[in-house]
Amino acid sequence: MIITCPCGKKKFNVDTNLIPDKGRLVKCGTCDETWFFKKSDQTTLESREDVVINENFEKQIQNQISSPKNDKTYNKIANIQKTKGSELIKYRAKSSFTISKFLSYIIVFLVSFIGVIIILDTFKSPLSIFFPSLELLLYNMFETIKDLVLFAKDLK
């Protein structure tokens, strides 16, 4: 239920269960005005406002229907309102997994891995302060890569 302050500056959305049938004292948070509110007064006021709003709305619809430009727009709006979902365009996710995409990810991973190894090898002396066994790890990694290359050559 919407309650309007007598000053007319503020409207409040109040749960109907909070106001009993006999009424209640209400205070505006904006202007600090206090007044007694009854549900029966509100329903008659709302019904008068609804009649005025409905008449204005019907006039606007009649004006839009009568003009040829808005007839297409009106049909589009009516079709949109008939759809079950609230969205205008429904998104359908496609499966985007392809072999070429997978291979490109592998190539990027290998290039990045080689770049990290080159950076670690270049700065192994200053980094050995923080990582004492860095030189040994890099040596083992180089030997493992050599073994993998020899294994690939033997497969041919």
The strand pairing partners of 36, in sequence order, are: 25
Of 1, 2, 8, residue with least CA distance to 33: 8
Q: What is the pLDDT of residue 36?
A: 78
Q: How far is Cα 76 from Cα 88, in angstroms, rounded to an integer?
A: 11
Q: What is the pLDDT of residue 147?
A: 94
Higher confidence at residue 76 or residue 29? 29
- Token pair of 115, please? 């770049």
Averaged pLDDT score across all residues of the chain = 74
pLDDT in tens, 57-111: 566 655 655 554 455 666 666 665 555 555 556 666 677 788 999 999 999 999 9
Confidence at residue 97, expressed as pLDDT on a 0 to 100 scale: 80
Provide the whole-model pTM.
0.35
49 has pLDDT over 60: no
Distance CA(42)–CA(49), nearest Å, equals: 10
Distance from C-alpha of 33 to C-alpha of 10, rounded to nearest angstrom: 11
